[in-house]
């Protein structure tokens, strides 16, 4: 039961002032700018955009600054902001095959057309703290960097398209095809209440904005044997994808800019039947920004949720659609967990009375006995 | 079906306008300002619709090439103007810079005037050159991180 609490206005006002002061920190140091956050804490910005489900680097940087670096608080701010804006429409589906690739690796094929491109990755770094970063403008030395300037190759072919790895194995029929586009509008969880069971598009939308840590743990659980699916990273790619919007007043589609996306194609163990020879199955991950851990986790969980369609045994946590999808949103989760610290005095008073009565009943004493005892 | 030449030239015109709009959507605010300066004096522009910020739902495809799903939204600015005695122009761009969207709309309207098109295309050229150069830098930097993994032969036992 919720009961309105009154009072505390002055304390709340002062607490907010104190919060602003603590956010600012030492005033002898310059205030961090949104441009610095957007340019130097890019992966935090990407995570806030992905889980805030709103692509806008400057807004994400502002939210991170306002939230003092608490990313879930920042995601909450972004979600709240998006409800204030009208929606102009839906983009044409983004074409990840036409990406300006900044990173692309495959764990299944070493010689793939277009090559393995490591890009800006933590992979193969030594994971040693680089103390030179503590000194402004000094180049890192731990990982053999020769200054911050990136090396450039001369032979980059601007026209080279990079086929998705799944297209390569798909051509041989060794892997299941993606579900066909039948022209139906995909379900939108931001516009209509979800009722289970849901289709694959609904799962993908929910997972794409889901909490990275939660999906990481569930994805990990599938590797440890809870809905094992023998995954391989068919491909991870990260880069810039064009956004195309149909503009009714113009009567033709317009390219309105680029967004950065990470895509993970997970290739999993076979499924075959009397009618169809065995083939690889797939899990799919697509996330705003450079969020590779999240894209991989999403693909693992997405694959686990397909157990019924693929005729697998259920029973593992990652296969439980209602459980996985109902708890992956960190804004909902933090709202419900954190509301526990708000005043519950009336609720608790009722419980106190109840526990007192139960104890009395258990000891066989009556309120009259207690009154007598207290008086003595 | 064979196209009439009139249809064909109309298609070409739409393709050229789409290319101009794509460049305008990516032009920085300072670039748009210098384009406007370069194309001045301009006829007065009136709003067809107040410039505003809104959202577009970005869609992905299951597996990269399959059925669509809703991935998440992006902020978009848009503007629609009419030049005095001239065409209507539209500006759509990612982000919340409505002033930039409005400048884009003005330049789109100017582009539609055959007498001005050449000048607008010339003003767009530096932006196009920057975009090509930036993409080239990304490709070259990424290409420098290309690896050739090789599998070691396992020892015989």
pLDDT tens per residue, range A331-347: 999 999 999 998 888 88
| Bridge partners, B45 (sequence order) | B83
Give the span between the Cα atoms of A301 and A147, in whole angstroms: 39
Percent of chain A scored above 90 by pLDDT? 74
What is the distance between the terminal CA atoms of chain A, rounded to a whole angstrom? 38
- Among B69, B95, B137, the residue with its CB nearest the CB of A56 is B95
Cβ of B15 under 8 Å from any chain A Cβ? no
Burial class (CB in 10 A: 0-12, 13-18, 19+), B110: buried
CB within 8 Å: B136 and A90 = no
Q: Is the ipTM of this complex over 0.90?
A: yes
Q: Is the per-residue pLDDT at A5 higher than 80?
A: no
Give the span between the Cα atoms of A294 and A219, in whole angstroms: 10
Q: Encode pLDDT of A219-249 as tens digits.
A: 999 999 999 889 999 999 999 999 999 999 9
CB within 8 Å: B136 and A93 = no
- Among B53, B94, B151, the residue with its CB nearest the CB of A256 is B94
A239 and A199 inside one domain: yes
Q: Encode pLDDT of B48-71 as tens digits.
A: 999 999 999 999 999 999 999 999
- If residue A202 lies in a helix (H) or strand (E), which one and from where to where? helix A200-208
A206 and A312 inside one domain: yes
- Among A90, A110, A115, the residue with its CB nearest the CB of B59 is A90
Q: Which residues of A touch B145 (CB under 8 A)?
A: 103, 117-119, 151
Domain boundary among A82, A115, A136: A82
Residue A191 in any domain: the answer is: yes
Cβ of B150 under 8 Å from any chain A Cβ? yes
Stretch A350-365: mean pLDDT, rounded? Answer: 91
Helix A71-82 / helix A57-66 crossing angle, nearest 10 deg: 130
A65 and A171 inside one domain: no
A22 and A111 inside one domain: no
Which residues lie below 8 Å from residue A94, measured CB to CB, with a gap of 6+?
Answer: A241, A242, A243, A259, A261, B58, B59, B60, B61, B71
| pLDDT band at A1; cut points 50, 70, 90 | low
Give the span between the Cα atoms of A294 and A235, in whole angstroms: 14
Domain segments of chain B as ranges: 8-131
| pLDDT band at A158; cut points 50, 70, 90 | low
**CB-CB contact of A256 with B53 (8 Å):** no
- Buried residues in A60-84 as b, exposed as e (16+ CB within 10 A): bbbbbbebeeebbbbbbbbbebbee
Q: Encode pLDDT of A81-136 as tens digits.
A: 999 999 999 999 999 999 999 999 999 888 888 889 999 999 999 999 999 898 87
Residue-range definition of the domain harbouring residue A70: 9-82
A73 and A109 inside one domain: no
CB within 8 Å: A110 and B58 = no
**CB-CB contact of A64 with A47 (8 Å):** no
Instruction: Kindly report the nearest CA distance between residue B155 and chain A, in angstroms.
Output: 21
Instruction: Kindly report the nearest CA distance between residue B156 and chain A, in angstroms.
Output: 23
CB within 8 Å: A254 and B73 = no
Q: Which residues of B touch A125 (CB under 8 A)?
A: none
Relative to beta strand A232-247, strand A54-55 is unpaired
Cβ of B29 under 8 Å from any chain A Cβ? no
**CB-CB contact of A280 with A176 (8 Å):** yes
For residue A321, give both structure tokens.
């659609």
**CB-CB contact of A212 with A48 (8 Å):** no
CB within 8 Å: B73 and A82 = yes
Q: Which residue has the higher pLDDT, A160 or B108?
A: B108
Give the span between the Cα atoms of A213 and A137, in whole angstroms: 32
Position A346 scores a pLDDT of: 87
**CB-CB contact of A70 with B36 (8 Å):** no
Angle at CA of residue B15, ends A263 and B109, nearest 5°: 110
For residue A105, give both structure tokens.
């690796």
What is the distance between the terminal CA atoms of chain B, rounded to a whole angstrom? 67
| Bridge partners, A105 (sequence order) | A236
The Cβ-side half-sphere exposure at A151, using a 13 Å CA radius, reads 11
Cβ of B12 under 8 Å from any chain A Cβ? no
| pLDDT band at A146; cut points 50, 70, 90 | very low
For residue B149, give both structure tokens.
């993994």
> What number of C-beta contacts closer than 8 Å exist between A and B?
239
Lowest mean pLDDT among A6-10, A15-19, A140-144, A163-167: A140-144
A110 and A41 inside one domain: no
Helix B114-143 / helix B98-111 crossing angle, nearest 10 deg: 130
Q: Which residues of B touch A190 (CB under 8 A)?
A: 70, 73
Cβ of B28 under 8 Å from any chain A Cβ? no
A34 and A112 inside one domain: no
Instruction: Kindly report the nearest CA distance between residue B67 and chain A, in angstroms.
Output: 4
A187 and A282 inside one domain: yes
Residue A286 in any domain: the answer is: yes
Domain boundary among A334, A350, A368: A334
Instruction: Kindly report the nearest CA distance between residue A348 and chain B, in angstroms.
Output: 40
A55 and A106 inside one domain: no
CB within 8 Å: A93 and B57 = no
Which residues lie below 8 Å from residue B34, measured CB to CB, with a gap of 6+?
Answer: none
Position B39 scores a pLDDT of: 96
- Sequential DSSP letters for chain B: -PPPHHHHHHHHHHHHHHHHHHHHHH--HHHHHHHHHHH-S---EEEEEEEEEEEEEEEEEGGGTSSEEEEEEEEEEEEEEEETTS-EEEEEEESS-HHHHHHHHHHHHHHTSHHHHHHHHHHHHHHHHHHHHHHHHHHHHHHTTEE---PPPPPP-
A168 and A285 inside one domain: yes
Lowest mean pLDDT among A166-180, A257-271, A282-296: A166-180
Lowest mean pLDDT among A76-90, A171-185, A186-200: A171-185
Stretch A165-173: mean pLDDT, rounded? Answer: 81
Backbone phi, then psi, for A177, in 5-degree steps? -80, 160
Position B116 scores a pLDDT of: 96
Give the span between the Cα atoms of A190 and B36, in whole angstroms: 39
Mutate to test the interface with B, among A59, A61, A93 (most CBs of B within 10 A): A93
Going from the first residue of chain B to its last (157 residues), give the mean pLDDT of each consecutive group of 10, the final group possibly shorter.
70 96 98 96 95 98 97 98 94 98 98 96 98 96 87 61
Give the span between the Cα atoms of A78 and A51, in whole angstroms: 9
Q: Give chain A's domain count.
A: 2
A278 and A329 inside one domain: yes
* Chain mean pLDDT for chain A: 91
Q: Which of residues 129-148 of B touch A (CB under 8 A)?
A: 135-148
Domain boundary among A52, A82, A112: A82
| pLDDT band at A2; cut points 50, 70, 90 | low
A22 and A114 inside one domain: no
Which residues lie below 8 Å from residue A252, measured CB to CB, with a gap of 6+?
Answer: A246, B14, B18
**CB-CB contact of A56 with B74 (8 Å):** yes
């Amino acid at each position: 039961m919720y009961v309105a609490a009154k009072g505390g206005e002055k304390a709340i006002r002062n607490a907010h002032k104190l919060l602003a002061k603590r956010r600012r920190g030492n005033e002898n140091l310059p205030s961090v700018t949104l441009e610095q956050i957007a340019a130097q804490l890019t992966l935090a910005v990407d995570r806030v955009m992905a889980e805030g489900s709103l692509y806008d680097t400057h807004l994400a940087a502002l939210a991170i600054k306002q939230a003092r670096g608490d990313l879930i608080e920042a995601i909450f701010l972004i979600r709240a902001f998006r409800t204030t804006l009208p929606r102009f429409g839906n983009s044409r589906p983004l074409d990840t095959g036409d990406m300006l690739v900044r990173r692309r690796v495959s764990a299944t094929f070493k010689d793939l057309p277009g090559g393995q491109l490591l890009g800006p990755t933590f992979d193969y770094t030594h994971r040693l703290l680089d103390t030179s970063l503590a000194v402004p403008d000094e180049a890192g030395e731990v990982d053999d960097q020769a200054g911050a300037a990136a090396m450039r190759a001369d032979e980059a072919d601007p026209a080279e398209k990079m086929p998705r790895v799944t297209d390569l194995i798909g051509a041989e029929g060794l892997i299941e095809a993606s579900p066909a586009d039948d022209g139906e509008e995909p379900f939108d969880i931001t516009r209509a209440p979800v009722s289970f069971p849901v289709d694959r598009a609904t799962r993908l939308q929910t997972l794409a904005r889901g909490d990275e840590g939660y999906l990481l743990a569930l994805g990990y659980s599938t590797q440890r044997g809870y809905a094992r699916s023998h995954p391989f990273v068919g491909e991870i790619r990260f880069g810039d994808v064009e956004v195309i919007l149909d503009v009714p007043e113009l009567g033709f589609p317009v390219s309105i800019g680029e967004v950065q996306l990470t895509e993970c194609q997970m290739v999993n163990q076979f499924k075959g039947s009397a009618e169809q020879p065995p083939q690889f199955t797939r899990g799919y991950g697509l996330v705003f920004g450079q969020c590779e851990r999240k894209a991989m986790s999403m693909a693992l969980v997405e694959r686990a949720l397909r157990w019924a369609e693929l005729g697998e045994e259920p029973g593992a946590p990652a296969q439980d659609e209602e459980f996985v999808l109902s708890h992956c949103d960190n804004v909902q989760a933090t709202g419900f967990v954190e509301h526990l610290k708000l005043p519950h005095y009336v609720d608790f008073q009722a419980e106190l009375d109840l526990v007192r009565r139960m104890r009395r009943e258990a000891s066989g004493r009556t309120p009259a006995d207690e009154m007598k005892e207290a008086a003595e | 079906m064979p196209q009439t030449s009139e249809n064909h030239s109309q298609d070409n015109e739409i393709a050229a306008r789409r290319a101009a709009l794509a460049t305008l959507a990516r032009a920085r605010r300072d670039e748009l300002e210098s384009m406007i300066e370069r194309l001045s004096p301009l006829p007065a522009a009136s709003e067809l619709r107040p410039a505003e910020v809104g959202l577009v739902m970005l869609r992905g495809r299951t597996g990269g090439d399959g059925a669509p799903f809703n991935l998440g939204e992006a902020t978009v600015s848009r503007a629609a103007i009419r030049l005095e005695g001239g065409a209507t122009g539209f500006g759509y761009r990612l982000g919340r810079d409505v002033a930039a969207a409005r400048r884009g709309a003005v330049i789109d309207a100017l582009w539609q005037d055959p007498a001005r098109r050449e000048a607008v295309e010339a003003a767009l050229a530096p932006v196009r050159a920057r975009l090509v150069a930036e993409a080239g830098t990304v490709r070259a930097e990424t290409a420098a991180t290309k690896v050739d993994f090789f599998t070691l032969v396992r020892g015989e036992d």
